[in-house]
């Protein structure tokens, strides 16, 4: 039934996660008399929407066809003309939609426009799966801020390093490979200046096949970032530094000469993270993988800026007073703690990963 | 890694099973710098190959890209120009292939041609899955005969009808829905004249969304097919009748006037099924779903013309001397029986289905 | 909780299936202050009940203990004194019961008796599991007839032998081993004279460790059983022959001299199977594993004398007009067929086994 | 086969875990001619061994029977006469043993004795399962120290309490119920004086049915234990306090007057935990469930005194600088951390539990 083709559309949309910036991941299948005649997905911001690719492939067979699309076709002129108009022009017979537009101001308009032109529209097919796929887009649309996924890896006693700072390697290869996939699936990677000063990481994706290099975001209130660090020297990806207004202007100038973008967020001694999210949203960063130390993770969590969490645990007990994954003032009562919902437990070699959505009910 | 993109290519190829006639099901994904830039599948015989659709979608981004394709690109001029040449012209950097061409006379030529032009080629990625997908194509290429899947449904005591002929309904809705999916996935449906005379079936696909109507093949040695039967009257699909040379010529003429194609296969009183398979192959029928009575199923099996079997069992005991699924002279020794391998057991509601490949070792 | 100890009691009861003749399988655990102090199961008809074994093991610790027993303690004098009285005498504090007595004339009496003497009684703990365990006992109590389990093994085309009679070996070792376990778990094995004449089987259990030898029951209307056959010559188990009144008296005398018991059931030319079940019940046969040919299986089924069915299927197609598992006149309409419920599918090597309860709704 | 009866013996042995003090858990099944005739388990230290219970139940049927026992029968006079002699006297035919005696000085003697008297002995049946069951006994035999299982429950950020000390309730009901089962399965429960001063716990088992009350062990170097605390006032279980030699003698006298046992372990200001384990071993404590705070857990771990670990995680992030599950100086290099092996992940409601054996390779 309809599920069959919508699932294929979702598979194509899912495969392109990480490559559409602030745009949603959308897939489209065109079916004519029981035959698939067009396939498409939105592949790059500013380029053709999923429907356009699929209708191009279908050619003349689009006429009287049924079009399966995971997100309601757009009805407004953006970087590309509205897909609803294209569908009307192609004289398709029916459009099957998984999820309506998450932007409440636009939701339903595309569908209404199709119906006005006599095209039958079915909605709600595999809606749940489609909604999960566009959660980052939905958040960006409704708040103007990027969707933030936190990833951390610790021992079973919650340490991300030994007392002397050794953190190589907490988790094994299988977990680390998955982290590179996570990076590929986000628009940006965010880390604190502490991590940069200690490890001088490259903060890019190292997949068996080349991945997109996400934007690197460094939280660096006082602009301590050394010009010699890899995230400055390596030009394969943009580097954005978040600084407080108090940071020295000459350091900003020096970094900018080296191609680094500096974003001032907040007057205090430390970066105002909520303002930073607004600023990153204005820069059209749609999703961020946060790989911070305990302080940055804790601050982001405290300000409810995190949308999803992956906690990797290695089967080790390290002891000592090394740092943990989350450093924030916290709650007096256990009952008020942040809860994780829709919990999933996945094994990666001898490590395992707990993931879920934080619920900030009692902050 | 490479598996990630090849799996997407296989999903698209798989989705188009049943719509490419004698052509193989092939999927293609073009990836440039970690970004999917093209998607394609072979969707219809005589139309663009998977690579062409995907390269069209990729446009200028094909240059220096990696191309994942489930089957070795063709290097000969068929109904469309060779894909290997197109890949060379687009100056892609690398081609990843799941399965080489099953035609031994052509196997490896496409890959060699790419390499001659400096394109890196990786083979064997998800090869097993890709080989299963093109089994019907491989058989057709090597034998000139269609790939035959037998489907039958019986009670637990092996009856396909009661002693008085009642066969409605052995299996439940869920199993019957799957049979319509099976029909959609084959180029033709084959039944015996007995079934037509008794049930006057339409032999088409009744899916929740319209499916392709496979060619109907009726085994009717003496041309007893009534002109008033549904398979004659309903013109939504081709109907081919297999008859013996002994069948009356005037009946053939009458049926042909009604649009039915008649194929003479064999001089004896009954259709020579092996010759029939050759003839159907020459008609470019690539795959057949056999839904025969016991006699036709048994004859096909006896002549080793069946490539895959689905046996549906309803949880019933009907008794009586009604017909069974297989009526053939059989083997004297249990040890010589046809075995089914790669057995799978799947539940459909309260029915279940055993499927596997017949092994004719001891015939 | 209570489940913990009752599960252990059920495990012990289950382990003794096949060794209590017409008596139920019962397990018992005595717990005193959080410590198991007694374990018992009913192990042999005429010997101690489960409660007695467990209380004997507990000794003085039975006082004020909690007693977990899978079946309501008996309150009547049978071959052993009533267990309810023993529990009262031991001054246990509480009795936990899984299933009440299936005999409606006795059900609840044991529990009432305990309560009258101030013992707390909890019922219904793991009741479902306990009821399944005593199904044969429940049937025997309510009908006076043995519980009959049918076992058959055929090819996928429903044949139990080739056209020439070869039936060695349809199923593989794993399935055959399970059949010997099934034999061990029944009070008697039943076969037709046809099977005896053809295969001269021993009809005993061949387990890796010695099993009990069930009573052998041969359905032999005309007393054709050869004195030289194994089931006569081998004295390791009782052999009972069911014959019609028309069978020759001298043959009966000859068999009886050889130790065979002959039971006359019915005046017609063939054994009246319903009467035979009554007679076997009067002989205190509690459960039978039926391993008949098609005719015997069919007649038993037609007369609704079968309580559970195991159908083994070997992944083979043998063809020919060999016999099937069920030979009976059957039903005109598919809708009236006997249904199997609570279906289970289990793999045994490359064979598989479908088992379930026959529902005779429409006979 | 032999597995069938040994599995039943193991089930009975397993059911009695927690009630045999320093004695091993052993089960026994006696089988005569395919019929179970005796069942037994070791139920209490000083009382009958498993073989004795089972042979008592079997009575005269023990002669020529096969005896399945999960641990090699004893051949020395302990609190009860040697089981090997009893088996010889009963003239059993065969003994099947799962695991040989873990005490290397005794291992094989029982088996040799049986064989000398013409009894066939089979070993190694379900040996792995049997060895796991007697791990605590094996450790006690070889080291003279109790087997220690650590249990802790924390948030996902590794806290066992909020910064203000709130720890009620980290985990949900399902996890807490399992902890009471764990307590029941150990000979003693061990906690630190900090836990007693803060929470004044009762440290007993609260199971739906009454459980044995394990010995309570309080690590209290300076004998700060208040006479009014529950572990002193509640006399349902023994309470043992571990103190340093430096603790005031008058406090010891006061506690002893209240029925508390005081054990001096070590001259320093803090209890010498390794010496304490020796002392507890001399007191014939066979197994301990450690439910300490971070300091006690860490010290025990550091000294390699822990044999198994259960880590419960609640799906919460509490933040703050509350205590963690393990407080010890730890390792400089991640590579040297204690690893957990044979890891298992089990869900308890929305909590989950990681359990495994610590491997102290690099200390
Ligand atoms: Zn659009
Ligand atoms: Zn091609
Ligand atoms: Zn009783
Ligand atoms: Zn002993």
Q: For residue range B270-299, what is the model confidence (pLDDT) as tens digits?
A: 999 999 999 999 999 999 999 999 999 999
D147-152 average pLDDT score: 98
Three-class SS string for D70-87? EECCCCCCCCCCCHHHHH
Q: What Cα–Cα distance (Å) separates residue A168 from each residue in A105, A154, C246, D327, D340?
A: 49, 11, 91, 21, 18
pLDDT over 80 at B115, yes or no: yes
Name residues whose C-beta falls within 8 Å of residue C116's C-beta, 6 or more positions apart in sequence. none
Give the Cα separation of D167 and D161 in Å (integer). 4
Q: What Cα–Cα distance (Å) separates residue A38 from each residue in A9, A325, B40?
A: 11, 47, 8
Q: Which of D14, D35, D94 to mutate to test the interface with C (most CBs of C within 10 A)?
A: D35
End-to-end CA distance of chain A: 45
Cis peptide before D140 (omega within 30 of 0): no
Contact criterion met (CB < 8 Å) for B156 and C340 = yes
pLDDT band at D362 (very low <50, low <70, confident <90, very high): low
Q: What Cα–Cα distance (Å) separates residue A150 from each residue in B86, B106, D64?
A: 44, 51, 68
Token pair, residue D138, equals 């094996």
Contact criterion met (CB < 8 Å) for B162 and C350 = no
A36-44 average pLDDT score: 98
Exposed e or buried b for every residue in D247-278, given b needs 16+ CB within 10 A?
A: beeebbebbeeeebebbbbbeeeebbbeebbb
Nearest Cβ partner for D166 among A319, A328, A334: A334
Give the Cα separation of A264 and A260 in Å (integer). 13
In the numeric block, the tokens 């429409």 are attached to C362
Q: Are A223 and A243 in contact (CB under 8 A)?
A: yes
Q: Give catalytic status of residue D72 as yes or no.
A: no
Which chains have 3+ CB pairs within 8 A of D? A, C
Q: Which ligand is nearest to the CA of C85?
A: 3
Interface contacts (B, C; CB < 8 Å): 157
Q: Which ligand is nearest to the CA of C48?
A: 3
Which residues on B lie below 8 Å from A37 (Cβ)?
Answer: 43-44
> What residues are paired with C252 via a beta bridge?
none
Which chains have 3+ CB pairs within 8 A of A? B, D
Which of these is catalytic: B14, B51, B127, B254? Answer: B51
Give the Cα separation of A15 and A181 in Å (integer). 12
Contact criterion met (CB < 8 Å) for B208 and A34 = no
Q: What is the mean pLDDT of each run of 10 residues along chain C (363 residues)?
A: 95 97 97 96 96 98 98 90 96 98 90 97 97 97 96 96 88 94 96 95 82 93 97 94 97 97 95 98 97 96 97 96 93 93 92 95 59
Residue C235 burial by Cβ neighbours in a 10 Å radius (0-12, 13-18, 19+)? exposed
Three-class SS string for B198-234? HHCCCCCCCCCCCCCCCEEEEECCCCCCCCCCHHHHC
Give the Cα separation of C217 and C241 in Å (integer). 6
pLDDT band at B363 (very low <50, low <70, confident <90, very high): very low
Which residues on A lie below 8 Å from D352 (Cβ)?
Answer: 343, 345, 354
Question: What's the distance, CA D192 to chain centroid?
Answer: 18
D268-281 average pLDDT score: 97
pLDDT at A362: 55
Minimal C-alpha gap between D331 and chain A (Å): 6
Query: Average pLDDT of chain A?
Result: 95
Contact criterion met (CB < 8 Å) for A211 and B34 = yes
Pairing of strands B120-123, B66-71: unpaired
Minimal C-alpha gap between A319 and chain D (Å): 4
Question: What's the distance, CA B120 to chain centroid?
Answer: 33
> What residues are paired with D29 via a beta bridge?
D39, D68
Q: Are C83 and C53 in contact (CB under 8 A)?
A: no
pLDDT over 50 at B320, yes or no: yes
Contact criterion met (CB < 8 Å) for A208 and B1 = yes
Dihedrals φ, ψ of C127, to 5°? Answer: -60, -45
Q: Which helix (H) or strand (E) holds A358?
A: strand A351-359
pLDDT at B209: 72
Which residues of C does the annotation mark as catalytic?
51
Mark whether D and A touch (3+ CB pairs within 8 Å).
Answer: yes
Token pair, residue C186, equals 């029944």
3-state class of C214 per DSSP? coil
Minimal C-alpha gap between B17 and chain A (Å): 9
Dihedrals φ, ψ of B8, to 5°? Answer: -65, -40
Give the Cα separation of B84 and B31 in Å (integer). 17
For A156-238, list the strands marked E by DSSP: 188-192, 215-219
Question: What's the distance, CA A330 to chain centroid?
Answer: 26
Give the Cα separation of C273 and C300 in Å (integer). 7
Contact criterion met (CB < 8 Å) for C207 and D34 = yes
pLDDT over 60 at D271, yes or no: yes
Q: For residue range C289-308, what is the model confidence (pLDDT) as tens digits?
A: 999 999 999 999 999 999 99
DSSP characters for D182-210? HHHTSSEEEEEHHHHHHH----S---SS-
Query: Average pLDDT of chain D?
Result: 95
How many CB atoms neighbour CB D180 within 10 A? 15
Contact criterion met (CB < 8 Å) for C36 and D16 = yes
Running DSSP on this structure, what letter comes out for residue B303? Answer: T
Q: Which ligand is nearest to the CA of A49?
A: 1
Q: For residue range A158-201, what is the model confidence (pLDDT) as tens digits?
A: 999 999 988 888 999 999 999 999 999 999 999 999 999 999 99
pLDDT band at B362 (very low <50, low <70, confident <90, very high): low
Which strands make up the sheet holding C351-359, listed edge to edge?
A: B316-317, C338-348, C351-359, C308-314, C147-155, C287-290, C188-192, C215-219, C239-243, C261-264
> What residues are paired with D177 via a beta bridge?
none
Give the Cα separation of A290 and A306 in Å (integer). 9
DSSP characters for A113-153? HHHHTT-EEEE-TTHHHHHHHTHHHHHHHHHSS-EEEEEEE
pLDDT over 90 at B307, yes or no: yes
pLDDT at C80: 85
Which chains have 3+ CB pairs within 8 A of C? B, D
Running DSSP on this structure, what letter comes out for residue B163? Answer: T
Q: Are A163 and A189 in contact (CB under 8 A)?
A: no
Please give the model's pTM, rounded to 2 decimal places. 0.91
Q: Are C326 and C347 in contact (CB under 8 A)?
A: no
Give the Cα separation of B10 and B40 in Å (integer). 10
Q: Which helix (H) or strand (E) holds C243?
A: strand C239-243
Question: What's the distance, CA C264 to chain centroid?
Answer: 23
Give the Cα separation of B288 and B21 in Å (integer). 10
Q: Taking the CA atoms of chain A, what radius of gyration do you get in angstroms?
A: 23
Comparing CA positions, the residue from A359, A358, A266 lying closest to residue A309 is A358
Q: Are D151 and D289 in contact (CB under 8 A)?
A: yes
Exposed e or buried b for every residue in D45-54, given b needs 16+ CB within 10 A?
A: eebbbbbbbb
Comparing CA positions, the residue from A70, A79, A126 lying closest to residue A102 is A70
Give the Cα separation of B311 and D196 in Å (integer). 67
Cis peptide before B169 (omega within 30 of 0): yes
Which residues on D lie below 8 Å from C2 (Cβ)?
Answer: 208-209
pLDDT band at D363 (very low <50, low <70, confident <90, very high): very low
Question: A106-110, A127-131, D211-215: lowest mean pLDDT where?
Answer: D211-215
pLDDT over 50 at A363, yes or no: no
Q: Which helix (H) or strand (E) holds A50?
A: helix A50-58
Token pair, residue B306, equals 């069946």
Q: What Cα–Cα distance (Å) separates residue C99 from each residue in C5, C102, C131?
A: 15, 8, 6
Using alpha carbons only, what angle is made at residue A165 by residues A164 and A171, rounded to the nearest 5 degrees? 125
Give the Cα separation of B252 and B263 in Å (integer). 9
Minimal C-alpha gap between D85 and chain A (Å): 47
Residue A350 burial by Cβ neighbours in a 10 Å radius (0-12, 13-18, 19+)? middle
D130-137 average pLDDT score: 97
pLDDT over 80 at D361, yes or no: no
Q: Which chain B residue shows the shortest CA-CA distance from A210?
A: B34
Interface contacts (A, D; CB < 8 Å): 157
Q: Taking the CA atoms of chain C, what radius of gyration do you get in angstroms?
A: 23
B102-120 average pLDDT score: 94
Which residues on A lie below 8 Å from B29 (Cβ)?
Answer: 15
Q: Are C170 and C199 in contact (CB under 8 A)?
A: no
Comparing CA positions, the residue from A38, A105, A90, A47 lying closest to residue A69 is A38
3-state class of C288 per DSSP? strand
């Amino acid at each position: 039934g309809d599920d069959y083709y919508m699932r294929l559309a979702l598979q194509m949309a899912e495969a392109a996660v990480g490559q559409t910036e602030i745009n949603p991941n959308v897939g489209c299948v065109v079916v004519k008399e029981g035959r698939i005649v067009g396939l498409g997905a939105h592949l790059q911001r500013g380029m053709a929407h999923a429907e356009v690719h699929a209708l191009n492939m279908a050619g003349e067979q689009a006429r009287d066809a049924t079009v399966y699309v995971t997100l309601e076709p757009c009805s407004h002129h953006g970087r590309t003309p509205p897909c609803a108009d294209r569908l009307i022009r192609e004289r398709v017979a029916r459009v099957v939609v998984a999820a309506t537009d998450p932007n409440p101001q636009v939701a339903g308009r595309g569908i209404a426009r199709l119906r006005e032109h006599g095209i039958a529209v079915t909605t709600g097919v595999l809606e749940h799966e489609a909604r999960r796929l566009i959660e980052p887009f939905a958040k960006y649309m409704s708040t103007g801020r990027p969707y933030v996924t936190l990833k951390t890896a610790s021992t079973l006693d919650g340490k991300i390093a030994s007392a002397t700072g050794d953190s190589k390697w907490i988790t094994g290869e299988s977990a680390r490979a998955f982290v590179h996939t996570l990076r590929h699936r986000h628009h940006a990677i965010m880390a604190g200046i502490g991590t940069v000063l200690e490890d001088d990481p490259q903060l890019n994706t190292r997949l068996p096949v080349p991945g997109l290099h996400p934007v690197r975001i460094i939280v660096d209130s006082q602009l301590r970032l050394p010009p010699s660090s890899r995230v400055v020297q390596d030009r394969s990806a943009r580097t954005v530094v978040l600084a407080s207004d108090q940071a020295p202007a000459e350091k900003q100038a020096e970094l900018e000469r080296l191609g680094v973008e500096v974003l001032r967020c907040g007057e205090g001694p430390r970066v105002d993270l909520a303002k930073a999210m607004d600023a990153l949203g204005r820069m059209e960063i749609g999703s961020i993988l946060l790989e911070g130390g305990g302080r940055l993770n804790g601050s982001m969590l405290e300000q409810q800026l995190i949308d999803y969490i992956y906690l990797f645990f290695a089967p080790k007990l390290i002891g000592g007073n090394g740092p943990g994954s989350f450093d924030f003032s916290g709650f007096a009562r256990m009952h008020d703690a942040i809860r994780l919902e829709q919990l999933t437990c996945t094994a990666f070699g001898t490590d395992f990963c707990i993931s879920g959505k934080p619920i900030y009910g009692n902050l």
